Amino acid sequence: MQKKRNQISARQLLCIYVIIVLSPLIRVVPNYAAKYGNQAAWLSPLIALLPTLIVIYILDSIFKHYKTESLTEIFEDIMSKPLGMLIVFLYFIWSTILVALYMRYDAERLTGSIYPNIHYIFFIIFTLLQIAYALRADLTVIARMGEIIAPIIFILFTFLILLLLPMIRHDTILPISYVDAVPVVMASRGASGIYLYYFLLFFLSDKISHKNKLKTQSIKTIIMLVAATIVMLISIIGIMGSSVVQRIPIPFLVAVKQISIMKSIQNIESIAVAMWLMADFILISALIIVSLNIIKTLFRLSNIKLLQNIYILMIYILSLGISDNKMDLETFSQYIMIPLNHVFGLLIPIVLFATGKIRKRL
- DSSP 8-state assignment for residue 228: H
Collapsing DSSP to helix, strand or coil, 261 comes out as strand
The per-residue pLDDT of the chain, averaged, comes to 88
pLDDT of residue 262 exceeding 50: no
CB atoms within 10 A of CB 139: 23
Stronger pLDDT, 113 or 229, i.e. the higher one: 229
What's the angle, vertex CA 173, arms to CA 169 and CA 177, rounded to 5?
A: 145
Q: Which residue has the higher pLDDT, 36 or 119?
A: 36
Please tell me the predicted confidence (pLDDT) of residue 196: 96
Mean predicted confidence (pLDDT) in 145-152: 90
Q: What is the pLDDT of residue 195?
A: 97
How confident is residue 267, by pLDDT bands cut at 50, 70 and 90? low
SS3 content of the chain, % helix, strand, coil (to 5): 80, 0, 15
Q: How many CB atoms lie under 10 A from the CB of residue 90?
A: 14
pLDDT at residue 3 tops 80: no
Cβ-proximal residues to 146 (8 Å cutoff; 6+ apart), any chain: 12, 15, 16, 19, 282, 286
Asked if 199 contacts 59 with a C-beta cutoff of 8 angstroms, the reply is: yes
Q: Lowest mean pLDDT: which of 93-102, 240-249, 259-268?
A: 259-268
Q: Which CATH class is domain 10-358?
A: mainly alpha
> Which pLDDT score is estimated for 286?
92
The pLDDT, as a whole number, for residue 113 is 66
Label residue 27 by pLDDT band (50, 70, 90). confident
Q: What is the pLDDT of residue 141?
A: 86
Question: Comparing 1-5, 81-85, 157-161, 310-314, which segment has the lowest mean pLDDT?
Answer: 1-5
d(CA 77, CA 83) in angstroms, rounded, equals: 10
For the segment 30-44, the average pLDDT, to the nearest whole number, is 93
Q: What percent of the chain has pLDDT over 90?
A: 51
Can you tell me whether residue 279 is helix, strand or coil? helix
Q: Which residue has the higher pLDDT, 134 or 313?
A: 313
- Interatomic CA distance for residues 261 and 4, integer angstroms: 48
| Cis preceding-peptide flag for 349 (omega within 30 of 0) | no
Rounded Cα distance between 64 and 362, Å, is 8
Angstrom distance (rounded) from CA 245 to CA 237: 7
Give percent of the chain above pLDDT 70. 95
360: buried, middle or exposed (CB in 10 Å: 19+, 13-18, 0-12)? exposed
What is the DSSP secondary-structure string of 288-324? HHHHHHHHHHHTT-S--HHHHHHHHHHHHHHHHHS-S
Q: Is 265 helix (H, G, I), strand (E, B) or coil?
A: strand
Model confidence over 280-313: pLDDT tens digits?
899 999 999 999 999 999 988 887 878 888 999 9
Cα distances (angstroms) measured from residue 306 to each of 120, 136, 286, 309, 319: 27, 11, 18, 6, 20
Average pLDDT over residues 57-85: 93
Give residue limits of the domains in the chain: 10-358
The per-residue pLDDT for range 302-355, each reduced to its tens digit, is 878 788 889 999 999 999 888 777 778 888 888 899 999 999 999 999 999 999
Say yes or no to pLDDT of 154 above 70.
Answer: yes
Most confident of 43-52, 105-114, 199-208: 43-52
d(CA 327, CA 24): 16
pLDDT, residue 1, reads 43
For the question of whether the overall pTM of this predicted structure is more than 0.85, the answer is yes
Are 216 and 228 in contact by the 8 Å Cβ rule? The answer is no
- Quote the CA–CA distance of 345 and 343 in Å, as a whole number: 6
pLDDT class of 265 with cuts at 50, 70, 90 = low
Confidence band for 249, pLDDT divided at 50, 70 and 90: confident
